[in-house]
Chains A and B, each alone.
Chain A
Amino acid sequence: MPGAIYAEGLVKTFGDVRALDGVDLDVPEGTVLGLLGPNGAGKTTAVRCLTTLLRPDSGRAVVAGLDVVRQPNEVRRSIGLSGQFAAVDEYLTGRENLHMVGRLYQMRGKAAKARAAELLDQFHLTDAADRPTKTYSGGMRRRLDLAAALVVHPPVMFMDEPTTGLDPRNRQQLWEVIKDLVSGGTTLLLTTQYLEEADHLAHDIAVVDRGQVIARGTSDQLKARTGGERVEVVVHDRERMATAAEVLAGFGKGTTTVQEHTRRLTIPVTGGAKLLAEVIRELDARGIEIDDIGLRRPTLDDVFLSLTGHRAEAEENGNGNGNGDENRGRSGDGGGDQSPEAGAGRGRAKEVSE
């Protein structure tokens, strides 16, 4: 039996660009699928096809048991959509926005009003409920946007890059909300550029590149393919690097990479934060002063590199919409887990340009 979201051979072309090139998906009821890929990979197009905003050129898609091409209006009654392209009216208050959406989901006036109040409370927006959303912060606006998608308790939800452009605190908050939602039995398809986000929220991950699903599996399976996590240390004194390498070798699996000029040492590990703590204690015991230390998890870049042999950004630049800032953000300091934060600058820039 097909899942709550099911797609078979979806194709969508714009001019001579094949945005979707035969996408198959199957999301069992009550689970979360993370669609992971860089900009321009086809994630948004896939969501637009599944939410009836775009008609696929060929292939079949069934959402909540309904065919998206033949029964679009029935599909719309069963889905909620939130994310980078669904929006709220900036001149209406939060309450007015939710009330309007409720009415357009064909709720009666009173019911729509009550539901709006309930959602505002649930999303901690009651204090700002009667202010135009223009005055909201980015995080508040995302929460309202998500609330708008939840007005009728839809059994199937789509979120397109729900946290792109949010600061870490707001991202964390939104993740909690999404987790609550899923624990209530909602089937969710979410797109993201960040492995960490998919890792946090999704049961299964499908990696998308050039309109095709190039890999699928759990987060652990994907990480296993990309080499897992590494500890990175920046040693203060160059003379102590050899000793530090010795220490690391005792904890890691595989060979230590040494960058002489940056005094940086990297080694693949298993064991996460607990192991990191042990490494720090041992380095300290040997009196090695460190400038920086972190656990580096595989990023989308690493996944891409191992799956396709090219970096995620190469795809964006190939499409002509990549920019230097993003590359800078992604490759950043290399210290610690920096994947979602790296994209924040780009997300903000996008919001401004909108």
Chain B
Amino acid sequence: MSAVTDTAPAATPAARFGQSVRDSLVVAQRNLIRMTRIPEMVIFGLIQPIMFVVLFSYVFGGSLQVGGTTDPSVYREFLMAGIFAQTVTFATAGAGAGIADDMHKGLIDRFRSLPMARGAVLTGRTLADLVQTALTLFVLAMVALLVGWRTHTSIGEVLGAFGLLLLFGYAFTWVGALIGLSVRTPEAATSGGLIWLFPVTFVSTAFVDSGKMTPWLGHVADWNPFSATVQACRRLFGNPGGSPSDAWPMQHPVWASLIYSVVIILIFRTLAVRKYRSAAA
């Protein structure tokens, strides 16, 4: 009977919030331990964006025109914000696959039978993914420096750009969480988490100017949350930004990126937590 008396119920909102944070950190720790036990996952997660940097820099570098020049070094600086942003969104697939795997193996049932905060399993997972994303971004930035990428602003602005990228990536892990809860297998979550990312990341200003697209596609690209984050990073890094259109998110990319990220988190966190509550393996 000690169970009943030892664990005081979380009564006040403050106590509930405290429990929520504690439980999330316990789950985050669990997921981080897993990552250290499956290092190949982290390594593959690093190789892919590095490949993108090298491929885009050297294959497309000389042939794409940015800001009126085809100078490869200009394109390299233009490109890097796009690669960074694409990399953080790919964390979606990891979060989705991880949660689908937990569902599949019955771990979600174990968690749901415990007196823990409801959103903690998902929050813990997304926090662990955030740590991995930060690590990936760091390695990627080093590689980018090696191939000639430079920033031309204050350290504060550069860190601000990385902050925006992490927030944006974090928002996308909540999309991944919802996908992971909605599919039957981890494999489906991986492909389901990636497929839609290709149009999202390519119909954007990440790799080419939106002005060079068909007008309607250009509009989509201008209002794409992904473009806003990419453009915000270019501005904060002091990298060439192509010729952004007059669309509001392109003119105020930092604000636009912040707003988009927060809205995505609010919507997808709500949906994912609701789905988690009724989830059945």
| Chain A residues within 8 Å of B, Cβ to Cβ | 48, 51-55, 64, 73-74, 76-79, 81, 84-92, 96, 100-101, 103-107, 132, 148, 152-155, 354
Cross-interface CB contact of B280 among A54, A64, A84, cutoff 8 Å = A54
User: Quick one: closest A residue to B22, CB to CB?
Assistant: A103
B-side contacts of A103, CB under 8 Å: 22-23, 26
B101 CB to closest chain A CB, in angstroms?
A: 10
A76 nearest in chain B by CB position = B115
Tell me whether A78 and B3 are in contact (CB under 8 A): yes
Contact at A155–B1, with CB atoms within 8 Å? yes
Further contacts, 10 of them, CB under 8 A, given A107-B7, A354-B104: A53-B112, A78-B3, A86-B110, A91-B34, A103-B23, A104-B114, A104-B116, A105-B116, A106-B7, A155-B4
| Residues A88 and B33 in contact in the complex (CB < 8 Å), given A73-B115, A77-B4, A103-B26 | no
Which of B34, B109, B116 neighbours the largest number of chain A CB atoms within 10 Å of its CB? B109
Within the complex, the shortest CB–CB distance from A22 to chain B, in Å, comes to 21
CB of B37 within 8 Å of the partner chain: yes
Beta-carbon contact of A52 and B3 below 8 Å: no
Number of A-B contacts (CB under 8 A): 103
Is B214 positioned at the interface, with any CB of A under 8 Å from its CB?
Answer: no
Check if B106 is an interface residue, CB within 8 A of chain A: yes
Q: Does B247 contact A (CB under 8 A)?
A: no
Residue of chain A at shortest CB distance from B110: A86
Give the docked Cα–Cα distance between A51 and B7 (Å).
Answer: 18
Q: Which residues of B contact A154 (CB under 8 A)?
A: 3
Q: How far is the CB of B18 from chain A (nearest CB, A)?
A: 11
Looking at B1, B22, B111, B114, the one whose CB has the most chain A CB atoms below 10 A away is B114
* Total chain B interface residues with beta-carbon distance under 8 A: 36
* Interface pair B105/A354, CB less than 8 Å apart: yes
B40 interface residue per 8 A CB criterion:
no
> Which listed residue (B19, B37, B109) contacts A53, Cβ 8 A?
B109
Which among A53, A54, A87, A155 is the interface contact of B105 at CB below 8 angstroms? A87
27 CB < 8 A contacts A-B: A52-B113, A73-B9, A76-B114, A76-B115, A77-B7, A81-B109, A81-B113, A84-B106, A85-B109, A86-B113, A87-B107, A87-B109, A88-B107, A89-B107, A91-B37, A96-B33, A100-B26, A100-B27, A101-B114, A103-B23, A104-B26, A105-B3, A106-B7, A106-B115, A107-B6, A153-B3, A155-B4
Q: Evaluate contact between B3 and A77: CB separation under 8 angstroms.
A: yes
Q: Is residue B275 within 8 Å, beta carbon to beta carbon, of the partner chain?
A: no
Q: In whole angstroms, what is the CA distance A106 to B8 when docked?
A: 8
B38 within 8 A of A: yes
- Closest 5 pairs between A and B when the two form their complex, measured CB to CB: A87-B106, A152-B3, A76-B115, A91-B37, A81-B113
Tell me, in angstroms, the Cα distance from A268 to B19 when the chains sit together: 61
Q: Is the CB of B110 within 8 A of A155?
A: no
A148 to B7, CA, bound (A): 17
B12 at the interface (CB under 8 A from A): no
| CB of A73, distance to nearest CB on chain B (Å) | 5
User: Which residues of B does A touch, CB under 8 Å?
Assistant: 1-4, 6-10, 19, 22-23, 26-27, 29-30, 33-34, 37-38, 104-107, 109-116, 120, 278, 280-281
Whether B34 and A88, one on each chain, are in contact in the complex, defined by CB atoms closer than 8 angstroms, is no
- Identify which of B4, B26, B30 contacts A78 (C-beta below 8 A): B4
Q: Which residues of A contact B113 (CB under 8 A)?
A: 51-53, 76, 79, 81, 86
Min CB gap A284→B, angstroms:
51
Whose C-beta in chain B lies nearest to the C-beta of A54?
B280
A12 to chain B, nearest CB (A): 11
Complex alpha-carbon distance, A54 and B115, angstroms: 15
Q: Which residues of A contact B3 (CB under 8 A)?
A: 77-78, 105, 152-155
What is the bound-complex CA distance between A54 and B109, given in angstroms?
A: 10
Cα of A73 to Cα of B19 in the assembled complex, Å = 13
Q: How far is the CA of A48 from the CA of B106 in the complex (A)?
A: 12
Residues A92 and B116 in contact in the complex (CB < 8 Å), given A77-B4, A155-B1: no
Whole-angstrom distance between the alpha carbons of A89 and B107 in the complex? 7
**A55 to chain B: closest residue by CB:** B278
Contact partner of B33 (CB less than 8 A), chosen from A64, A86, A91, is A91
**B6→A92 contact, CB < 8 A:** no
Please tell me which one of the listed residues B33, B110, B115, B116 contacts residue A87 in the complex, with CB atoms under 8 A apart: B110
Instruction: Give the distance to chain B from A83, nearest Cβ to Cβ, in Å.
Output: 9
The chain A residue sitting closest to B23, CB to CB, is A104
Which residue of chain B has its CB nearest to the CB of A74?
B9
Closest residue of A by beta carbon distance from B19: A106
Which residues in A have their C-beta under 8 angstroms from that of B278?
Answer: 55
Residues of B within 8 A of A48 (CB): 280
A152, B2: Cβ atoms under 8 Å? yes
Q: Chain A residues with Cβ under 8 A from B105's Cβ?
A: 87, 90, 354
On chain B, the residues within 8 Å of A152 by CB distance are: 2-3, 6-7
How far does the alpha carbon of A89 sit from the alpha carbon of B33 in the complex, in Å? 11
Q: Which residue of A lies closest to B104 (CB)?
A: A354
Residues of B within 8 A of A64 (CB): 4
- In the assembled complex, the Cα of A90 lies from the Cα of B9 at a distance in Å of 30
Give the one of B19, B23, B106 with max A CB within 10 A. B106
| Chain B residues, CB < 8 A from A81 | 109-110, 113
Partner of A88, one of B26, B110, B116: B110
Closest B residue by C-beta to A64: B4
Closest beta carbon of chain A to B213's beta carbon, Å:
44
Give A92's nearest chain B residue, CB to CB: B33
